[in-house]
A and B are shown apart, each in its own frame.
Chain A
Amino acid sequence: MKPQMTRVASGIGFQLRDVVVNYDGHVALDRVTLKVEAGGQVAVVGPNGAGKSTLFKAIAGLLPLRSGRIDLEGGPPQLRLAYVPQREEIDWRFPVSAFDVVLMGRYGRLGWLRHPQAADKQAALASLERLSMGPLADRPLAELSGGQQQRVFLARALAQEPNLLLLDEPFTGVDVSVRTSTLEVLDALRAEGVTVLVSTHDLNLASERFQQVLLLNHRVIGFGVPGEVLTAERVAEAFGVHALFVGGAIVIDQCCPPTEP
C-alpha cells in the first residue's frame, strides 16, 4: 500500500521587527529584525545559548515579547504552525504510543471537547508511514530509539498540516538514515511551498541545503544566502572562534581563543 500523502497547503510568510525577549532580566534576543518569505527555508545557526530556541518560541507565540513585533502575512487566523521542540524538552517516559503522539498533531483543528475522527486517525497514520514509522505506530514512545522518536515528532508536525514549520535541532544526535529522511521531508515541503525554519549546529548542512541562513548570537549577525552570511569574519563574530574554509567545507578552529576587541 502506498502511503497517502498528507495534504499540506502552501506556506505563510512573516516578519520580525526589533524583537526583544528577556529571561529574568537578561537578554536572549536583542532587536531581531528579519523577513521570511512564504515558502522559504531558513537554517538558523549560532552557538549554544545564542537564542535559537528562544527565537522559535517567540515566533510560535509561546514567549512574551519584551518589545518589537511579529507580523504574519494575512494575520494570525491564517497561521497553521507546527513546532518540533529540542529533544531535552520532551518527557520521553510518558505513557503514549507513537500513534498517540502523532494524533495530538490533529488537536489544533478539533477545538475543545471534540474527539479525533476517522479522518484524523488516517492522517496521523499516513504521516507515520511517510516517515517509515507505520509498523511501529503502536510502540510506546519510551521504547523507541532516539532517531525513531525524532521521526515520530516530525510525523506529528506533518499531521498538523502546517504552513509554517519550526524544527529545533532535528539533526542533533541522529544517524544518517534519520538525517536523510528529514532532508527528504524538507525537500517535499519545499515543493509544497511550506515555510520552514530549522536550527542546526551543522554549518555545512546549513550552507549546502538551505537557500537562506540566519546567523544568530542574541542579535542577527547575518541573514541571507549562505555564501554571504557564513563568511570567516561573521562566523568568528558569532562563535568567538576562527572558522577555516577547507575545500568548501567549514571547519571551526578551536585552537586559538579570539582576541578581545
Chain B
Amino acid sequence: MIHWLTDPFTLAFMQRALVAALLVGVVCSVLGCYVVLRSMAFLGDALAHAILPGVAIAYIFGFSLLLGALIAALVVAFGIGLVSRGGNIREDTAIGILFAAALSLGIVMISTIQTYATDLTHILFGDVLGVGPHDLELTAGLAVVVLATVLLLYKEFLVVSFDPLLARISGVSPGLVRAVMLVLLALTIVISLQTVGVGLVAAMLVTPAATASLLTKRLPAMMAVSAVVGALSSLIGLFASYYLNVASGAAIVLAATAFFVLAFILAPRRGLLWRGARGLLASSAQHG
C-alpha cells in the first residue's frame, strides 16, 4: 500500500507533477473563495477559454506556452474592463463577446497546426505528468505571487467584496482592487493550464471554495478549508492520472466534486442529512 503511494515519486517527472498539482490546487482554491463570494465564476471560465489564441501563437512560434497564455489572459482581462467600463455594455455581455471571440480565434489558429489533436487535449484537459522543469519554476513563482498578494491585500479584498461602498468611504478603490483580482485570476488560470486545462479551471476555482463555504463561517477558515480540499483533490487526481492514465484535469475536478457532494450531504447543520434528520425529529415530535 505504502509502495503504491510512494513509488511513483521516485520518478523526476512525478515529483514535478506533485509539486505543480499541489501548488495549483491551493492557489485555485484560495483565490476561488473570492470568485465564489463575488460571483465571478463566469468571468473565470471566460478568461480561461480566452487564453487559447495566446497559447496557439506561442505554439506556432515556439516560445513558452505559459508566457503566451499569460499575455493573452492579461489582454482579455483588461479588454473586459475596458468594454464594460463606460456602463453602456453590461459586464457579463462584455465577457460573453470577448470570450467567444478569443475562443474562436484560438480554435482557428490551432486548427492550422498539423499535430494539434493531442496538444489540444492537453491544453483543454490538462497534462500534469508532462510538466517540465521550466514550467515548474514559472508555476511556483506565479503561485507565490498570487498567494502573497491575497494575504497582503486581505483587508482590501474583504471590504471590497463585502461592502464596496464602505471600501470607497475608507479610501480603498473597488475598481483598483477589482483590477488586481483580475490579474491574479489571469495568473492563476495560466498556471492551472498544465494541470487542469482551460476547460476545467473554472471548476477548480469554484468547487473547493463552494465546498469550504458549506463547512465554515468565516473567510479565513473558508480559505484554509478550500486550500486543503484543493490540495487533496490534486493529489487524488494525480494518482488517478498516473495509474489509470486519464486526463489529470478531469480526475482532479472529479475528486473535488466528490468532496463537494460529501459536504453537501454531510455538512453539520447545513447538509442534506442534517436537515433531513431535523425534519424527521420535528415531525416525530409533532406526532407525539
Contact = CB atoms under 8 A, between A and B. Distances in A.
**Residue among B153, B216, B219 with most chain A CB within 10 A:** B219
Contacts of A88: none
B159 A140 contact: no
Contact of A62 (B152, B156, B168, B170): B168
Contact of A96 (B156, B162, B167, B171): B162
Given A95-B217, A95-B221, A107-B159, 20 more contacts: A60-B165, A61-B168, A62-B168, A82-B169, A83-B166, A94-B161, A94-B162, A95-B219, A100-B158, A100-B218, A104-B158, A104-B159, A104-B163, A104-B166, A104-B170, A107-B155, A107-B166, A108-B171, A116-B155, A140-B218
A215 to B, nearest CB: 25
Interface in A40-66: 57, 60-62
A83 B167 CA distance: 11
A81 interface: yes
Contacts of B217: 95, 97, 140, 142-143
A94 B37 contact: yes
Interface residues of A, number: 32
Nearest to A156: B166
Nearest to A94: B162
B222 interface: yes
Interface in B208-264: 213, 216-219, 221-222
A142 B162 CA distance: 13
B39 to A, nearest CB: 10
Say what secondary structure dominates the interface of chain B.
helix
B35 to A, nearest CB: 14
A90 interface: yes
**Residue among B158, B165, B169, B219 with most chain A CB within 10 A:** B169
Contacts of A143: 217
B219 A60 contact: no
The 5 closest A-B pairs by CB, nearest first: A108-B170, A140-B217, A107-B170, A94-B162, A95-B219
B171 A111 contact: yes
Interface in A20-55: none
Contact of B213 (A60, A95, A107, A113): A95
Contacts of A95: 37, 213, 216-219, 221-222
A89 interface: yes
Contacts of A113: 152-153
A240 to B, nearest CB: 30
B172 interface: yes
A2 interface: no
A186 to B, nearest CB: 20
Nearest to B154: A115
A9 interface: no
Indicate the size class of the contact surface on chain B.
Answer: 20 to 34
Interface of B: 37, 152-156, 158-159, 161-163, 165-172, 213, 216-219, 221-222
A96 B218 contact: yes
Contacts of B162: 91, 94, 96, 101, 104
17 contacts: A62-B169, A82-B169, A85-B163, A94-B37, A95-B213, A95-B221, A96-B218, A97-B217, A101-B162, A104-B163, A105-B166, A107-B155, A107-B170, A107-B172, A113-B153, A140-B217, A143-B217
A96 B166 contact: no
A95 B153 CA distance: 17
Nearest to B168: A62
Interface in A137-181: 140, 142-143, 156
Contacts of A5: none
B53 to A, nearest CB: 35
A108 B168 CA distance: 9
B253 to A, nearest CB: 24
A89 B170 contact: no
A62 B158 contact: no
A182 B165 CA distance: 22
Contacts of A107: 155, 159, 166-167, 170, 172
A112 B172 contact: yes
A205 interface: no
B38 to A, nearest CB: 10
Contacts of A140: 217-218
Contacts of A249: none
A100 B159 CA distance: 10
A115 B220 CA distance: 14
B118 to A, nearest CB: 42
A104 to B, nearest CB: 5
